[in-house]
Amino acid sequence: MPAKSATLALDLGNSGQIEGVPANDSNTQSMKRIALCCWVACCSLLVTAQNYTTYFTGNMQDAVVAPQGGVCLMGGATEDDNAMRWFLQRASGGDVLVIRASGSDGYNDYLYDELGVNVNSVETIVFNNASASSEAYVLDRISKAEAIWIAGGNQYNYVNYWRGNQVANLINQGITQRNIVIGGTSAGMAILGGAYFSAANGTINSADALSNPFDSRMTVDNTPFIRVPYLENVITDTHYDDPDRRGRHLSFLANAMTQYGGTFRGIACDEYTAVCIDESGIAKIYGTYPDFDDNAYFLVPNCGLSDNMPEVCTDNQPLTWDHSGTAVKVYAVKGTPTGLYTIDLNDWTTAEGGDWQDWSAIAGSFNAVTSDEPDCLASSTYAAADPIPFRIYPNPNDQGVVTIEAINPLADGKVRVVDVDGRTLQDWTSLGPSSQLDVSNLPAGSYFLEYSSNGAFSVRRLLVR
């Protein structure tokens, strides 16, 4: 591990005022020279605003390593140490960047020193205003980070400051091109779904959201922002148990499905719970249970229904999303120190350690009861018998072509690719013992490849990167 440099705090990006000085260690003199150079350079800019503040701890030479990817979603209270260790380990010893719009350097020593995971550096950049998003230094630091953590605060600041500009672009490039790990707590978690509650008009409680799922404060947005694998159609929520936010989360999903079409799912965390999703889509749930009787929640509109849309979801009308009390299937699972319990986000059904519930609403009144796991095409076909043995490779696939080999090929064999909602995306017929299938048009994600003949079928998961 590189020798620890001092923690340095600078107001940069148009001011140059030095808020802190280096600690007294072996690198103090060089750090002072660096600070002085930064101060002189910044003071040469004839401007008045202080766009951002940076706090740096560790080795100032950029690490060049290969991070492992993934995402960590934190419920919003004190960070779970084991989940944060998972996050840091996936940085592979690289540079960690904390971005936020308020606060200061509370993460630096915690992430650098206190968790026992070697990283090259930890830097916190506080965005004091939207102009920080165009600062060359800020963009350079984002482009070089192996891990990015988004702190709590006001999520609308994040939407307002970062969406649609180079900050979001560089984060997304880091995820897709450099395989960085990303995570966030509270507001930082709230913006990591493909759809998100932006809080543009302030927050809203469950009672008001159920009373009117199109209340002016129900700002459920799907404008492209931060694009995280396995969260494309997911709306997150945090601080789930303080206060009870189940009703508003149900309303978020109903609003999005009505407003944008398609199926949206949800992931939520009680305050002392974290969900860490690896590159293959397996979500581990961390927490200090039984010290805190907290859960993570995975919400799936009932895919066993031919029509799972809300019955009443319109402006100035209380929400009814009932379907005989089975509108939304919810997997509730407690966190453990080791992340023992999991759910597979390739099918949102394969899970262990938790319990299934049915959530619904009638005329704005929320209901939750115990239930069974959902019965969906994707999950049921995956668990079917295997009368047609075959294999596919390479899998995971990043080559655009997958080879399928059947042990006993059938003359009338057919193959189709199905998404997690059961929709056929591609199909092929007249397959030989070994066939190559072009899947280059499939976006990165998880699919099901079904081989069928005369009513019999077998299924394999296909992961496209």
- For residues 376 and 107, the model is more confident at 107
- Cα Rg for the chain, rounded, in angstroms? 24
Q: Give the lowest-confidence range in 133-137, 173-177, 245-249.
A: 173-177
Q: What is the pLDDT of residue 420?
A: 67
Distance CA 348, CA 420 (A): 8
3-state secondary structure (DSSP) of residue 435: strand
**Residue 377: pLDDT band by 50, 70, 90 thresholds?**
very low
Q: What is the pLDDT of residue 315?
A: 96
Amino acid occupying residue 7: T
- The residues spanned by each domain of the chain are 50-370, 383-464
- For residues 314 and 432, the model is more confident at 314
Distance CA 406, CA 386 (A): 12
pLDDT of 66 over the 70 cut: yes
Summarised one tens digit per residue, pLDDT across range 214-235 is 999 999 999 989 999 999 889 9
Q: What is the pLDDT of residue 412?
A: 67
Prior bond to 409 cis, omega within 30? no
Q: Which helix (H) or strand (E) holds 48?
A: none
- Name the CATH topology of 50-370: Rossmann fold (3.40.50)
Average the pLDDT over 300-314 and give the result: 92
Share of the chain above pLDDT 70, in %: 83
Q: Look over the chain and give the mean of its residue pLDDT values, rounded to a whole number.
A: 85
- For residues 27 and 110, the model is more confident at 110
Distances (CA, A) of 306 to 296, 302, 394: 28, 9, 34
Average the pLDDT over 152-171 and give the result: 97
**Tokens of residue 219, six digits:** 């700002």
Average the pLDDT over 281-308 and give the result: 92
CA angle 421, 427, 428 (to 5 degrees): 155
Query: Same CATH topology for 50-370 and 383-464?
Result: no
Distance CA 302, CA 320 (A): 15
149 Cβ neighbours under 8 A, 6+ residues apart: 87, 96, 97, 98, 99, 107, 111, 182, 183, 184, 188
Q: Give the lowest-confidence range in 156-170, 318-332, 400-414.
A: 400-414
Summarised one tens digit per residue, pLDDT across range 84-101 is 999 999 999 999 999 999
Q: What is the pLDDT of residue 416?
A: 87
206 Cβ neighbours under 8 A, 6+ residues apart: 243, 244, 245, 246, 247, 248, 251, 366
Q: What is the pLDDT of residue 22?
A: 33
3-state secondary structure (DSSP) of residue 303: coil
DSSP code string of 106-146? TTHHHHHTSS----SEEEEEEE-SGGGGG-HHHHHHHHH-S
**Which CATH code for domain 383-464?**
2.60.40.1930
Q: Which helix (H) or strand (E) holds 253?
A: helix 246-260
**Tokens of residue 223, six digits:** 């404008």
Summarised one tens digit per residue, pLDDT across range 243-293 is 999 999 999 999 999 998 888 999 999 999 999 999 989 999 999 988 888
Contacts 24+ apart (CB under 8 A), 109-118: 109/7, 109/57, 110/79, 110/84, 111/84, 111/149, 112/4, 112/57, 112/58, 113/4, 115/81, 115/84, 115/85, 115/88, 116/85, 117/85, 117/88, 117/89, 118/1, 118/93
Q: What is the pLDDT of residue 114?
A: 98
Q: Give the lowest-confidence range in 33-47, 55-69, 375-389.
A: 33-47
pLDDT of 342 over the 60 cut: yes
Q: Rounded to the nearest 5°, which phi and psi values hold at 402?
A: -120, 140
Distance CA 50, CA 312 (A): 48
Find where tokens 């590159």 sit. 279
Distance CA 225, CA 234 (A): 13
